Amino acid sequence: MKISYRKNYITEDDSHTAIKLNADSLIISDDKHVIKAAEGSKQIYFEGEIYYHSKFDVITQIGKNEYGEFLKKQLSSFDVVDFINSVEGIYTAVFVDPEKNEAVIFCDYLNRKNLYYIESENSFVAATSLNTIIPELTSIKYNQQAFLSYLTVGYTPIHQTFYEGVNRFSSNEYVKIAQGKTEHIFFEENYKIENYDESQIEEYDNLLTNSILSRSSDENFVLNSGGWDSTSIIYHLTKNYDNKNINSVICETILRNGESFNIYEADKVKKISDYYGINSEKIIIDFNDKNLLNDWEARREELKNYHTYFFVDMPKAVHEISEQKKSASIFSGEASDSIHNFGFSQFVAVTYNNRELREYGDKMKSYLFGPSFFSKLLNGTYDDDKVFQFYTYYYGESCCEDVTKFNKKDFLYSYFKSFMLSGERIPFAKANGNKFAKDLLISSNNGSLKEGIFRNPVNNVTPENIYYYLLQLYRDYHFHSPQIESKHVPLRNSGENCKIPFLDMSLVKYMYSMPESWGRGLELKPTKYPLRYLAKEKWNIPMNILEEAGAHSYISESDSKWNYSGGKWNMYCETIYNSVFGDYYKEMFSEIDLEKYFSPESFNTEEMKRIVKDFIEGKQDLENASFIYKLGVLFFIELY
């Protein structure tokens, strides 16, 4: 969908919908998947999916054939903030009240539709795909802060794109058009940590069950990782659908030497599928297969249009599944680690062999970003904390900023920045990516982050609301990462999306208030506590498979050469040095002028070019493998 508000402009073109707002026009185009509903003079133009409506603790699932009637009922007393907070789905919409000459443009609560926009004194243009909005620019200039973010975390935050002047709607943002003016409005929320009891376990069960079933269809595929998240999705589906309508799918990565990188994961997925009696499929990603380049190229345009810079594996898998059954729901357990434990539940916080120690290492990191430790930050006793001391010793004190002379705001900014932008993810760890950035760019980027994404956490955080603000950072960053977006992109041109039930408005709000004692601190409850409690005590989950001794997923878990086990080799290295992509990247890099994109005023482009030149000449540099990998992805998918 494309939404164009143009001042002092009336169009007679009937190839699109044009609504007069006094002397101005609001034009709805690129509307193949747009639904219109009207009640009296009020109208809503809606693109996307609705899963359910939730109000006063009453949840009502909404089927696709009910969208029009449901939307019509919302119009008589329409309130945009109420709509966003009660209608769960993936959508973009425009509400129009011609009698008041007003319009409101908005997205779903978690902004999963990605609405890009540009604005000037006389116009505001928004679109769900970049290919319809980039032509509105008079010239293309590249956003250097966005490139810094890409080198840091592999993507840009929610509001940002690689193109100067092209932004995205941020969390809790909507745009109101009235009296010839365009106003960006951000609604406020207030969530605090609560003392959950056993009734909240039941609430979690109901919320997750509804989240899964409201996204399901007659045919369901689950991207299966052999863990708690995808298995819980399969369990809920088997309770409500015939087994023949549920399919388990795994991407198995075959390395150049013929080894399966995720052999343990693949074996576990097969056992789980057999346990439930459902079909199990593999999609092979063979690093020796030159056809992978063609597979990636086939997805290139849509990845670029939706600002998603990601490797071929997941886009290829989702596309191949959708080709089997166009109407199927494709599920992913993505974001479960994020909402329960802020990513600290993947057994990678420490590289010890013992699995229980790895999990407790995750819990220790969760603790460092929880209310107990945060209280120590505020009263100045954090230096004496044994967990903090352990991790500063484990990584080395040089990994952290010296915050001893920081004022309170800079101190808290460093704390939150390390949570989101560092590799170590311990308090005050330095941000990734800065090694190529010049001081001017680092300074301007820090200024933008302090006044933008990190402003509310720094100004408003307390021990009582810290989890709310940590998850706001996830809303600004990881929930819009290519790790998630790549599962949506192959489906979006057909008006569909991947079904990610843990990335659900009601579940996320539940997590704002979930206490530290529920698997987020130093107590002995497991990570992802409510999920794993129900898996053990109530659901039909094959615990013996999920809790098997030994490696969980990857050969890197038992081979000391890999970074997972304390070594320096990783999948970045494997991709650029031991796959069909390496030679392709070399040829591609030899034809690219790096300074066309990365400004020498912002980046040390001479050093960047030296590293690229060394790679082209066949020199291995493990320290900079991630840099080469990210450049390879960026330039393979291409920029406008």
Whether the pLDDT of residue 631 is over 80: the answer is: yes
Same domain, yes or no: 75 and 17: yes
pLDDT digits (tens, 9 = 90+) for 195-221: 999 999 999 999 999 999 999 999 999
The model's pLDDT over 77-127, given as tens digits with 9 standing for 90+, comes to 999 999 999 999 999 999 999 999 999 999 999 999 999 999 999 999 999
Instruction: Domain of residue 180: give its range.
Output: 2-186
Instruction: Show which of 129, 161, 186 is a domain's final residue.
Output: 186
Which residues is 224 bridged to in the sheet? Answer: none
The CATH number covering residue 174 comes to 3.60.20.10
Contact 103, 112 (CB under 8 A): no
Residues 153, 57 share a domain: yes
pLDDT confidence band for 346 (50 / 70 / 90)? confident
Residues 109 and 204 in one domain: no
End-to-end CA distance of the chain: 20
Q: How far apart are CA 446 and CA 423, in angstroms?
A: 17
What radius of gyration, in Å, describes the C-alpha atoms of the chain? Answer: 24
Q: Which residues, in sequence order, are bridge partners of residue 182? A: 177
**Is residue 293 domain-shared with residue 391, that is, in the same domain?**
no
Q: Are 96 and 44 in contact (CB under 8 A)?
A: yes
* Domain final position from 479, 497, 515: 479
> Across the chain, what does the average pLDDT equal?
96
Do both 550 and 588 map to the same domain?
no
Over 80: is that where the pLDDT of 534 sits? yes
What is the model's pLDDT at position 12?
65
Domain termination residue (choose one: 443, 464, 479)? 479
Assign 441 to helix, strand or coil: helix
Give the pLDDT confidence of 225-262 residue by residue, as tens digits: 999 999 999 999 999 999 999 999 999 999 999 999 99
Measured CA to CA, the distance from residue 440 to residue 455 in angstroms comes to 21
For residue 353, name the pLDDT band (cuts at 50, 70, 90). confident
**Residue where the block lists tokens 């479960």:** 336
Do residues 248 and 227 touch, judged by C-beta distance below 8 A? no
Average pLDDT over residues 577-585: 97
Strands 87-97 and 102-107 come out as: antiparallel
HEC letters along 531-592 = HHHHHHHCCCCCHHHHCCCCCCCCHHHCCCCEHHHCCCECHHHHHHHCCHHHHHHHHHHCCC
Kindly indicate the confidence band of residue 564, based on its pLDDT and cuts at 50, 70 and 90.
confident
Contact 261, 556 (CB under 8 A): yes
Number of domains the chain is built from: 4
State whether 28 and 175 are in the same domain: yes
**436 and 510 both lie in a single domain:** no
Residue 170 sits in the same domain as residue 45: yes
